Structure 1
Amino acid sequence: MKKLLVIILMLVGSSTLWAQQNSTLKREVVGRDIGQLKGIKISGRIIDEITGEALVGATVTVPELNLTRITDTNGGFELVLDRAEYNLQFRYVGYETVEYPITAVGDGRLSIRMLQEDFELDDVVIFGRDPEKNIRSTDMGAITLSINTMRELPPFMGEIDIVRSLATLPGVSQVGEASAGLNVRGGGVDQNLIQFGGAPIYNPSHMFGLFTAFNADMVNDLTLYKAVVPARYGGRSSAILDILPKAGSVDRWGGDLMVSNFSGKLSLNGPVVPGKVSILGGFRISYINWLLQSLSNTTLNNSSANFYDGNVIISAPISDNNEFTYSYYRSYDDFAFASDTTISWNNNAHSFQWKSKMSEKLSMEALGYLSQYNYGIFNQSGINDFDLNSNIQDLGGKLFFTYTLNPKQKFSFGGEMKDIQIQPGELIPTGENQDILPKKVQNEHGREFAGHFQHEFELGEKVGFSYGVRYDLYQYLGDRIVRQYAPNRPVSEGSAISETQYGKGDVIQTYDGLGPRASFRYSLSKYSSIKLGYNKMYQFIHLISNTATIAPTDVWKLSDGFLKPQIADQISLGFYNNFKGNIFETSVEVYYKDLQNVVEYKDGATLIVQNHLETELIPAEGRAFGAEFYIKKNLGRLTGWMSYTYSRALRRVITPFEEENINNGAWYASNFDKPHDLTLIGNYKLSTNTSVSATFAYNTGRPVTFPDAKFDYSGNSLAYFNDRNQERLPDFHRLDLSLNFKLKGKGKFYDGNWTLSVLNVYGRKNPFSIFFDDAEGAPPQALRLALLGIPLPSLSYAIKF
């Protein structure tokens, strides 16, 4: 009997103690004001359990009210509740879901720490952040991809490729098999602003586009804006790619190691000041020369290629309200073509960011950056040796404020300025017996200023609206000599009549303009909506190139008195529908884009080391339109998506001078016009530790100009070209496969991820480039060079430690 009495007393005591602890927890969560019945404010911040990094865009759900909120740029959120019991749910892609029961009796604050999920779960969720964000938000054409999503794609030569991952989505393409940059909704590669940690990157590629110049281990996520771009972004006329760097751990040291038969990379991260300051460093290097030497092409197997990139990221989440981040990025490439000509380029970018939650409603973000891009060609053939180099320096600062009036209404405003200097080209003879003379193109200097405002609000559950405006001011500055040309004559060397000298800092030309942006959303149901959007953007820097992709020989040029800023107006309409509890996500978008002051070049233009580029260029107008179809399966053993785009990207040149008109003033296809673009992505989990991935891509061959005839001039056989871009390369199609598996070993270094991939499984000889060879009694014949004309296997091994 005594033993029974003791057991009863112990149970009663334990129950009382548990109730007291649970009650204490709830008081800590909701505060001490127990007199409230309605309008109870529960605010908080969600961070990574290990790194302390704010989780931006995480979802906070109150199932009892069917209410969902998204965390802001500081990981903060706010709920307004009635007095009752609730079971809060916190979700973020790649992290374990947190369920948090509370009893709301008064205002309070939560601090939620989330752990990354174990990727050995049976189902891998590949949708980004909020699975219903595509339905509920007013965003149009905004695509966010996490690294976890990109891991589901077959790796390119053993690695996750950021740019190629985006090119699998509707409205986004590349011109060829190894091409740098992206073409977004009929825009050129220079019409995209690519920024890493807020700093612009001018060449995002290694080896002419064979590899992306970003180490995926240094990236947290990335967002591409291709339709309605938020007013805080500007400076380009097509799209914005914002890459968010990863933060290191504030609690413990760790790292990642990956080796493949083409490249290797290593990253380390850990606390500098435990709990306060972390550092993350990464380095990637190639060893691809063995592949070049194995090719049958004698020019390529006598060539060599090298690249590397490195990152250092210092993050200091010193409090719930303040976070500082410093990011440094460097990439380097050199390619020795047939042992006598070396082409090299490198990026350097520094950025410093401060995020601050100034009050419950107001947050601030300040950013400063310095970005440099250098490129050059070095000829060491022994005859007329030379160095040709150029560089860009971009220095800027940005300040953003966000004021959240209530969960359904938010204001954003701020400003920025940048100073950009370009050294377009300097030719330096390096040999003894030279037939060439040194030459230096005049430097260019410009400044940009911008202010912006945006207002987002919801009217009930069905209607959402966002509108904003961005004001851009641009100044083209001296020191510079500017030519004047005779009126009523084409701008050419022969029509120059005088020159004017402008001193350093003198304003030579000014442009400005208002860029309104607006989007409207109407929800047909919880799982479907329609959206309408409009966007206007200005661009003051141009890539002068007669190729379809970025190359080291291309010239970057600022707007001046002859070359006006590009202006793009785009209108979009979309329908979005999710099925079966967000397992399936679908969308259809149509768009029309009008382009002004697009850069085209005259027939036979000389673009390298050209002091007066205005004599080689012609202003053009452009238009692009299309329809994009997308279906994605987010859950289950089989996941993936299908995207199909029908689009056109056209150009037209009409001037008062008949000799400058292209194709007699008719519309013609741009270099990257590809009407049909289809991508199929699939990932099937064979078991907990094994999966198979496949990517199939098909698109129309890009336009090219073939010679119509040939003629002899002074003993030389020359090709004659007539209309531009009237022919096409053969259609592109390719299948890639990969097998991903994880071995269970006795130690961490045996417990890694293996990836076996095969690119171009059936050996399609897709053309990388074309060249022409003379043929007796016929026009020059076009020949194509296939870079990946055979299946290309790769094997990589990755571990965490």
Structure 2
Amino acid sequence: MSFFFLKGETGKKLRLLVLLGFALVWLPMASYAQKFTLSGYVRDAKTGENLIGVAILNSITGQGTATNAYGFYSITVPKDSLKLVFSYVGYERSTMSVFLNKDMEQNVLLTPASTQLEAVEIVNTREEDVRETTRMSTINMSVAQIKSVPALFGEVDVLKVLQLLPGVQSGGEGTSGFYVRGGGPDQNLILLDGTPVYNASHLFGFFSVFNAEALNNVELVKGGFPARYGGRLSSVLDISMKEGNMNEVDGEGSIGLIASRLTVGGPIKKDVASFIFSGRRTYIDILARPFMNKEEGVAGYYFYDLNGKLNWKVSPKDRLYLSAYTGYDEFYNKMEDNGSGRQNSRAGLGWGNLTSAFRWNRIINQRLFLNTHLTYTKYQFDISSEEESTYQGDRYDYRLKYLSNIRDLSAKLDFDFIPNLNHYIRFGGQYVHHQFQPGALQVRSNSDGEADNLDVNTKKTNAQEVGVYIEDDVRLSERVKVNLGVRANGFGVNGEFYSSIEPRASVRFIATDKLSLKASYANMTQFIHLLTNSGIGLPTDLWVPSTEKIKPQRSNQVAIGATRTIADDKVEFSVEAYYKTMHNLIEYKEGASFIGISSNWDTKVTTGKGDAYGLEFFLHKKVGRTNGWIGYTLAWSNRQFAELNQGKEFPYRYDRRHDFEVVVIHQLKPNLSLSATWVYGTGNSITLPEARYVVGEAFPDGYTGTQTYSDYGSRNGYRMAAYHRADISLSHTKKKSWGEVVNNISFYNAYNRKNPYYIYLQSGYDGEPGKFKQISLFPILPSVSKTFKF
């Protein structure tokens, strides 16, 4: 790593930290004497897929562990008898008894639950007791549960379900991204098979880029971040794709009102190699085309997603994975006019992601697991406009193109070291090469043979980011367990180098058999920024690096909480309080945006700070015919910039005092389920004019007229009306000889609430004062879809 060659006090501290970390890793190896290890993989008996986070309990001693992100487990104990229980939501429990007097390898197959009622369990895919784990502010979600929640136009959506959890907010209809504990959308690290996804939304945030049918596991971390995660301030959304059925070809697809999708997987060589492929496309543009007036041109919008993954068991100790994703949104407009002259015009707006990942898993020994990860990711948006016209023999051509992108190339090593059941040590390092192009503008015009060209390109900026980490989940006693970790980072750009050392800690104390108390602290650094335009957002936000003028974002977050199980452990209740400070946040200066081309982006922004704090309550039932949860968040989020709002503190645009969610899924019959959600949230903060002035003006040509000026109040000093709505969904499953068909009917915004989308000031007439008008987006929207599995 390049920071080993750094001079001065920073380089000395980083080198000392790394050496100390590796010393801590190898010290526990001294305790191996007279101990033996049982290790292996836990897999789905039907498909052969590795299962992530399976809880493994030694019922004799009460100690346990869990499989890692690749289904691997390791148990090291003195020579003794073990009685292990393997449990995972949606699967039958499995037990194994063994007398461990030598190192052994044993793979375990879990059988999917035999009835639908057993499979419909909410939120946690892990049966690890929430009182037992040190991690807090973390939620795992099953794909089956995600599919059960009512969806807009019947399109199952991961991000929409996340927004139903406490501490997680949507920006509102028409706004992309999700907001966690007062942070912005750029402060969420979104990983697909370990590869960052920079824009996770289609159609301005109405849909996410993730096809649920291709996903295996979804985990959201809101706080108490383990040291293995870095680079963002607010959250980590870690999504794993399915690996493909090792035993037989299977698939799943859906036909809806606006989109269809298909997922197919199967063995390339049985129990050796497999594949999975998933695709989705909307057809709004195709359905609308017959109703358009061709004389007025053709306009449309569509998006698509394509996922693919291959995996190969090279040997009992080695496994290779190759995965890729690409998706794109495009608006287009084409016009032709063959009247008195000839005129053709084309305009478009597009944006999309491309990710790819190569992973090599190796069991170095029964206690040490290695994952090597090479990734490439790219996000780009572009705007184009072309016009060709001929009139009375004169020709005019005009072309404009604007694009912005970010590209990453990354290499990462992660080690899982499990010396015994009292320690679970993770350590590793990562190198990332970033390339930023915040904006490139090309204008070409040609009128009657005379060319007029303009090129304004912000320079491509290359940056290097490195990071190393070590963490240990250590059991100090039967009641006390802690996770201690530290992460060291470096970021170099244009001769400037920033470094950070980030301590992390979480602690769990079991107070009673049903109650545990938890606390966490996390220090985070983010070296990249997102320049976001205010107002109705197009996906024209720009990713930019820290520079000599713009410092890295930094945060500190502390959280305390309690978790209790009730109703014979069928219901979990948790409460958490958090406080977070953020520094070196950026915003556009007043009146600035990405459109201006007269100067570099870092001259258009101002830096400031923010804080966020609140309480989160979560009541969650995950077994029985009726499942669901109730979440409530009481929160505050503020910002302060020296050059905005006269330097005074103001509410963040998505500061939301109250956020309330109810989700209920009820199994009416084994083949019939009803689900409903209700959400309520305080209205978003907005800035509105408080007065208007009409001023007479004289122009140089002698013409006199008037100009209207608006006097705006304090930044985000007003609030829209509260947002609330209910969604309902009914699903019926019919068995077929080749599989099953699920018919679904759903209603979005079931009671037709006119929620605020945008507010504008309408001018008055004949001297009357203007009035504020509210624009609402979605009325009640029914939809139907048909899903099939084979």
Fold equivalence (TM over 0.5): yes
With over 3 angstroms needed to count, the CA separation of the structure-2 counterparts of 1:647 and 1:725, relative to structure 1, is same
SS in 1 for 2:91: coil
Deviates more, 1:278-287 or 1:436-445: 436-445
Moved more, 566-575 or 225-234: 225-234
Q: Is the 8 A contact 1:180 1:549 kept in 2?
A: no
- Residue 668 of structure 2 aligns with which residue? 686
Given the alignment of the two structures, is residue 758 of structure 1 paired with residue 747 of structure 2, yes or no? yes
In the alignment, is residue 731 of structure 1 matched against residue 722 of structure 2?
A: yes
Q: Which residue of 2 aligns with 1:348?
A: 354
Q: Give the aligned residue type for 1:406.
A: N
Q: Does 1:456 align with 2:473?
A: yes
- Taking the aligned partners of 2:578 and 2:333, their CA distance within structure 1 comes to 42
- Within the candidate set 621, 634, 644, 1:633 is matched to 621
Describe the SS at the equivalent of 1:775: coil
Deviates more, 1:190-199 or 1:98-107: 98-107
Question: 2:401 maps to what in 1?
Answer: 387
Residue 463 of structure 2 is aligned with which of 446, 465, 473?
A: 446
**Alignment partner for residue 621 of structure 1, among 609, 633, 639?**
609
Q: How does 1:284-433 map to 2 (within 5 A)?
A: 284-289=280-285, 304-336=300-332, 341-380=347-386, 386-430=400-444, 432=446
Q: Distance in 2 between matches of 1:127 and 1:453?
A: 29
Match of 1:518 among 473, 498, 505: 505
Aligned to 1:602: 589
Q: How does 1:73-84 map to 2 (within 5 A)?
A: 73-79=69-75
Deviations 1:180-218 (A, max 9, x none): 211000000011111111111111011111111111111
Letter paired with 1:451: V
| Alpha carbons 2:54, 2:128 under 8 Å: kept | no
- The change in CA–CA distance for 1:255 and 1:573 in structure 2 (over 3 A counts) is same
Q: Secondary structure at the match of 1:149?
A: helix
Matches within 5 A, 1:221-240: 221-240=217-236
Task: Name whichever structure is richer in strand by fraction.
Answer: 2
1:472 and 2:489 are equivalent in the alignment = yes
Q: For the residues of structure 2 that align with 1:43 and 1:437, how far apart are their CA atoms?
A: 64
The answer to whether the Cα contact below 8 Å between 2:328 and 2:353 also exists between their aligned partners in 1 is yes
Q: How many angstroms apart in 2 are the aligned matches of 1:646 and 1:781?
A: 32
CA distance in 1, matches of 2:314, 2:789: 27
- Structure 1 residues 293 and 535 mapped into 2: Cα distance closer, same or farther (>3 Å)? farther
Whether contact under 8 Å (1:706, 1:782) holds in the other structure is: no
Q: Which residue identity lines up with residue 313 of structure 2 in the other structure? A: P
Closer, same or farther: CA 421–104 of 1 in aligned 2, 3 Å:
closer
SS in 2 for 1:150: helix
Q: How much identity, in percent, do the aligned residues show? A: 31
Residue 267 of structure 2 corresponds to residue 261 of structure 1: no
Structure 1 residue 782, shift from structure 2 partner: 3.7
Partner of 1:25: none
Task: Determine the C-alpha separation between the residues in 1 that align with 2:178 and 2:304.
Answer: 21
Q: Which position in structure 1 is the counterpart of 2:12?
A: none
In structure 2, relative to structure 1, the CA distance for the partners of 1:374 and 1:614 (3 Å cut) is: closer
Residues 107 and 194 from structure 1, CA distance in 2 versus in 1: closer, same or farther, beyond 3 angstroms? closer
Partner residue in 2 for 1:180? 176
Write out per-residue CA displacement over residues 577-605 of structure 1, whole angstroms, 9 at most, x where no aligned residue. Answer: 11234310111000000110111222112
The structure 2 residue matched to 1:204, chosen from 200, 205, 208, is 200
Q: Which residue of 2 aligns with 1:538?
A: 525
Q: Structure 2: 5+ residue runs without aligned partners?
A: 1-33, 336-345, 389-396, 700-705
Q: Are the equivalent residues in 2 in contact too, given 1:582–1:634 (CA < 8 A)?
A: no
Q: Do the aligned partners of residues 416 and 78 (structure 1) sit closer, same or farther apart at CA in structure 2, a change above 3 Å counting?
A: closer
Whole-Å Cα distance in 2 between the matches of residues 599 and 719 of structure 1?
A: 26
When residues 355 and 84 of structure 1 are mapped into structure 2, their CA distance, relative to the original with a 3 A threshold, is closer
- Matched-pair contact (CA < 8 Å) for 2:37–2:366: no
Query: Secondary structure of the residue that 1:560 maps to in structure 2?
Result: coil
- Secondary structure of 1:164's match? helix
1:233-282 deviation digits (Å, cap 9, x = unpaired) = 11111111111111101222121111111110011111122221111111
Matches within 5 A, 1:152-191: 152-191=148-187
Name the SS of the counterpart of 1:631 in structure 2. Answer: strand
Question: Which of 572, 584, 588 is the aligned partner of 2:571?
Answer: 584
Q: Counterpart of 1:564?
A: 551
Q: In structure 1, what is the Cα distance between the partners aligned to 2:201 and 2:71?
A: 32
CA shift, 1:562, in A, is 1.2
Q: 1:289 & 1:307 partners in 2: Cα distance?
A: 10
Q: Which one of 83, 95, 98 corresponds to residue 99 of structure 1? A: 95
Alignment check: 8 A CA contact 1:174 1:181 kept: yes
Structure 1 residue 126: deviation in Å?
2.5
Quote the residue 1:31 is aligned against: none
Distance 1:293 1:703 in 2: 39
Q: 2:264 is aligned with what amino acid?
A: L
Contact map agreement 1:53 1:317 (CA 8 A) in 2: no
In 2, Cα distance between equivalents of 1:143 and 1:313: 25
Alignment-derived partner of residue 31 in structure 2 = none
Q: Is residue 647 of structure 2 the alignment partner of residue 651 of structure 1? A: no
Q: Is residue 147–residue 219 contact of structure 1 (8 Å, CA) maintained in 2? A: yes
C-alpha distance in 1, partners of 2:114/2:286? 37
Instruction: Indicate conservation of the 8 Å contact 1:41/1:78, yes or no.
Output: yes
684 and 431 in structure 1: CA distance in 2 versus 1, 3 angstrom threshold? farther
- Residue number in structure 1 paired with 2:656: 674
8 Å contact kept, 1:600–1:617? yes
Instruction: Identify which range, 196-205 or 119-128, moves more after superposition.
Output: 119-128
2-structure distance, mates of 1:295, 1:133: 56
Q: Which SS does the other structure have where 2:487 is aligned?
A: strand
Asked whether 1:793 is paired with 2:782, we answer yes
TM-score, normalised relative to structure 2: 0.86
CA contact (8 A) 1:266 1:284 kept: yes
SS in 2 for 1:143: strand
Could you say what secondary structure the match of 1:157 adopts? helix
Report the alpha carbon displacement of residue 151 of structure 1 after superposing the two structures with TM. Answer: 2.2
CA contact (8 A) 2:385 2:400 kept: yes
CA distance in 2, matches of 1:559, 1:55: 39
**1:698 corresponding residue in structure 2:** 680
TM-score (norm 1): 0.85
Q: Which amino acid aligns with 1:733?
A: H
In structure 1, the residue matched to 2:731 is: 740
Contact 1:366/1:399, CA 8 A, preserved across alignment: yes
- Aligned 8 A contact 1:686 1:692 in 2: yes
- Aligned counterpart, 1:664: 646
Matched position secondary structure for 2:314: coil
1:784 aligns with 2:777: no
What code does the residue aligned with 1:563 have? I
Q: Are the equivalent residues in 1 in contact too, given 2:75–2:418 (CA < 8 A)?
A: no
| Code of the aligned partner of 2:461 | E
SS, match of residue 190 in structure 1: helix
Distance 1:556 1:609, change over 3 A: farther
The Cα RMSD (Å) is: 2.7
* Structure-2 separation of matches of 1:564 and 1:236: 14
The residue number in structure 2 matching 1:551 is 538
Q: Is the 8 A contact 2:668 2:674 kept in 1?
A: yes
Aligned twin of 1:144: 140
Aligned mates of 2:273, 2:482 — CA distance in 1: 39
CA-CA distance at 1:397 after TM superposition: 1.0
Q: Are 1:88 and 2:80 counterparts? A: no
Deviation at 1:759, TM superposition (A): 0.2
The verdict on how the C-alpha distance between 1:81 and 1:617 changes in structure 2, with shifts beyond 3 A counting, is closer
Q: Give the counterpart letter for 1:270 in structure 2.
A: G
Preserved contact between residue 445 and residue 453 of structure 2 (Cα < 8 Å): no
Q: Is the 8 A contact 1:255 1:269 kept in 2?
A: yes
Q: Distance in 2 between matches of 1:627 and 1:549?
A: 30
